[in-house]
């Protein structure tokens, strides 16, 4: 016979591939079991990002001897007993797969004791094989120890990320669980050091402050909405507190943390024109509805759910968010205009706006007529090598061919269109220059050159340091990138825990919201990760700093500022594109224009 029934130890390893993706998956499953057991105190101990050790201890109900032995069998559970229960699940776990799956790919120890029992029980398992079962003195509750994860599946272990990355995922998992269960004391240790010590909190606001940072509390609005058998509660941020990714959005369905597109879309719809595309709020949203109206058995890791009436859920969340913002928004009648004004502000030109900062050097930026350029005048004479990008020379050659050896300074400037595009002409035709993309390219190359020379960018001291508080994972990334921020002119020092103090900013970022800039950079680095290496991440920091420091669209410039910007493109090694790949200019030849107007065939 060619077809065989697999041994149980192999089938458990296959199941583990669905349930246990990485160390954070183990932590998630064990935390869910602890919460289902009614725990009020949970201790999570981690070593080497969970690769070496994961231990979760709780003070929950615990298990007797028979139940403990059954718990390590596949599809053994106390949470459902009949077919109908699958369509009305009120617990976090229900499949009976987690413990046997974890035990099959690790060196596993389960110690548990019921409140009424005189002694507990200890079960040791090595790669799915039971080594021993014995009585053991222990406090009431359960302690699960997982050592050497994936030791018997080296192909799986090889695909684990770095220790810091895996620890970051674990910290995110604990944070998402803790936000949904404020009455539980969570303590997370990494190599013996405390990462989180989240005491049981009287309300979500306190727990949100512990997880999201102290600076968010004053900008969080309480949600409260119910319609029929569905209710929405939680907190959402002011439109002024926005992120570049969805990392600040936590959504829960019947207290289960999920990533749900319906709820996230409804959240953004509720903000209406207060946020633009690519901006996301900070939000903790709890949606409660009858258990039989939500199916949680649609994803191996239970990260997704399916609603029986998704439109009802979408409308409830959208209405809750919209009503809350409408009540608290003093600019409701002109929200779109207000947000536009906040983004564009008063035209400040390529040169820096008047700012109340102390100068770091001899030059002063406290006078009303600052220099027309924040770039060094000899940028054109700077090193024309590829600066590590590997493609600047090729692009420069292409640019030379396009211009037939001519330069940007040969263009005759006609004016500015829509506060965004600079219109120029030459003997060959007409040119449109995107002022933001062009200035972004200029700033990026200046930062790149200075970084290569180990020179810091000219900066201005802040009168009052800006304090930025990160989560565990964000703080770890930021600390690695500190040298790159410093070379870009952003002077930062640790401020205790996961907090950092920004003491100075580059001159071209005077008046910018430096906290928002730094937070966005860190979140984007987390999204892309360090898979391509620290050098790539460092380069991304320079790109994002240049993007935020560049002049914006809808910003009127003086004739002198326009001329300076166009001339500075000649000093760039790759002037045709911004650092993120968008074109800085487009052109129409006289021949093309005459074809458009049907003057020639």
CA distance 153 to 137: 33
Residues 6+ apart with CB under 8 A from 336: 273
CA distance 30 to 57: 9
User: Is the predicted pLDDT of residue 383 greater than 60, yes or no?
Assistant: no
Angle between helices 163-180 and 472-487 (to 10 degrees): 130
Phi, psi of 129 (to 5 degrees): -105, 125
As beta bridge partners, residue 469 has 499
Cβ-contact 469, 215 below 8 angstroms: yes
CA distance 508 to 64: 66
DSSP symbol at 274: G
**What pLDDT, in 10s, does the model give residues 405-436?**
457 888 999 999 999 999 999 888 999 999 99
Intra-chain end-to-end CA distance of the chain, in Å = 75
Say which residue, 511 or 339, is predicted with more confidence. Answer: 511
CA distance 142 to 84: 29
Give the architecture (CATH level 2) of 8-198.
Answer: 2-Layer Sandwich (3.30)
**Residue 97 — pLDDT band, cuts 50, 70, 90?**
confident
User: Is the predicted pLDDT of residue 514 greater than 60, yes or no?
Assistant: yes
**What is the per-residue pLDDT for 533?**
54
User: Is the predicted pLDDT of residue 230 greater than 80, yes or no?
Assistant: yes
Task: State the residue for tokens 């003093």.
Answer: 330
Same-fold call for 8-198 versus 204-342: no
What are all long-range contacts of 413-417, with beta carbons under 8 Å and residues at least 24 apart?
Answer: 413/559, 413/562, 413/563, 413/566, 416/556, 416/557, 416/562
The CATH fold assigned to 204-342 is Ribosomal Protein S5; domain 2 (3.30.230)
DSSP symbol at 300: T
Tally the residues of the chain.
601
Which CATH code fits 358-588? 3.30.1370.100
**What is the per-residue pLDDT for 451?**
81
Would you give the distance in Å from CA 149 to the centre of its chain?
27
Question: Which one of 20-34, 151-165, 344-358, 512-526 scores highest in mean pLDDT?
Answer: 20-34
Task: State the residue for tokens 């094989």.
Answer: 129
Q: What is the mean pLDDT of the chain?
A: 80
Would you give the distance in Å from CA 329 to the centre of its chain?
26
Q: Is the dihedral of CA 188, 193, 196, 197 positive or negative?
A: positive
CA distance 146 to 26: 9
Domain boundaries of the chain, sorted by first residue:
8-198, 204-342, 358-588
Q: Is the pTM of this model over 0.75?
A: no
CA distance 500 to 502: 7
User: Is the predicted pLDDT of residue 378 greater than 60, yes or no?
Assistant: no
């Amino acid at each position: 016979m060619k077809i065989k029934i697999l041994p149980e130890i192999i089938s458990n390893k296959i199941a583990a591939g669905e349930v246990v993706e990485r160390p954070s998956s183990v932590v998630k499953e064990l935390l869910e079991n602890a919460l289902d057991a009614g725990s009020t105190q949970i201790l999570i101990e981690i070593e080497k990002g969970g690769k070496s050790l994961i231990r979760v201890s709780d003070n929950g109900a615990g298990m007797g001897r028979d139940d403990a032995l059954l718990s390590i069998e596949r599809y053994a559970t106390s949470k459902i007993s009949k077919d109908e229960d699958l369509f009305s699940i009120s617990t976090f776990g229900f499949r009976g797969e987690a413990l046997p799956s974890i035990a099959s790919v690790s060196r596993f120890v389960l110690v548990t004791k019921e409140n009424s029992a005189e002694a507990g029980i200890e079960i040791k398992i090595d790669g799915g094989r039971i080594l021993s079962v014995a009585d053991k003195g222990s406090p009431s509750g359960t302690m699960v120890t997982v050592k050497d994860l994936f030791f018997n599946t080296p192909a799986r272990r090889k695909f684990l990320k770095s220790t810091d990355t895996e620890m970051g995922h674990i910290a995110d998992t604990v944070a998402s669980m803790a936000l949904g269960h404020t009455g539980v004391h969570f303590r997370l240790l990494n190599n013996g050091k405390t990462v989180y010590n989240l005491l049981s909190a009287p309300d979500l606001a306190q727990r949100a402050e512990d997880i999201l940072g102290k600076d968010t509390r004053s900008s969080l609005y309480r949600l409260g909405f119910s319609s029929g058998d569905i209710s929405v509660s939680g907190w959402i941020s002011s439109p002024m507190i926005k992120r570049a990714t969805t990392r600040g959005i936590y959504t829960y369905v019947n207290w289960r943390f999920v990533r749900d597109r319906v709820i996230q879309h409804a959240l953004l719809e509720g903000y209406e024109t207060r946020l633009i595309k690519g901006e996301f709020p900070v939000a903790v949203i709890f949606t409660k509805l009858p258990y039989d109206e939500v199916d949680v058995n649609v994803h191996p890791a239970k990260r997704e759910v399916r609603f029986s009436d998704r439109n009802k859920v979408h409308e409830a969340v959208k209405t809750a968010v919209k009503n809350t913002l409408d009540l608290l928004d003093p600019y409701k009648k002109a929200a779109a205009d207000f947000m536009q004004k906040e983004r564009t502000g008063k035209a400040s030109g390529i040169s820096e706006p008047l700012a109340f900062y102390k100068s770091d050097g001899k030059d002063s930026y406290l006078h009303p007529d600052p220099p027309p350029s924040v770039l060094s005048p000899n940028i054109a004479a700077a090193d024309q090598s590829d600066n590590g990008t590997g493609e600047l020379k090729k692009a420069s050659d292409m640019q030379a061919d396009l211009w037939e050896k001519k330069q940007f300074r040969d263009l005759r400037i006609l004016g500015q269109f829509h506060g965004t595009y600079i219109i120029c002409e030459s003997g060959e035709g007409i040119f449109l220059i995107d002022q933001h993309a062009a200035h972004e390219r200029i700033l990026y190359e200046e930062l790149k050159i200075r970084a290569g020379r180990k020179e810091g960018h000219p900066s201005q001291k802040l009168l009052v340091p800006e304090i930025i508080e990160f989560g565990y994972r964000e703080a770890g990334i930021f600390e690695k990138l500190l040298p790159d921020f410093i070379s870009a002119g952003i002077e930062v020092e640790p401020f205790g825990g996961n907090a950092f103090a920004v003491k100075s900013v580059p001159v071209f970022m005077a008046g910018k919201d430096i906290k928002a800039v730094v937070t966005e950079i860190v979140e984007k680095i987390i999204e892309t990760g360090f898979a391509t290496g620290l050098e790539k991440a460092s380069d991304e920091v320079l790109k994002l700093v240049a993007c935020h420091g560049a002049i914006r669209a809808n910003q009127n410039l003086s004739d002198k500022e326009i001329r300076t910007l166009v001339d500075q493109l000649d000093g760039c090694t790759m002037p045709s594109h911004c650092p993120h790949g968008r074109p800085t200019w487009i052109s129409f030849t006289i021949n093309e224009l005459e074809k458009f107007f049907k003057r020639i065939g």
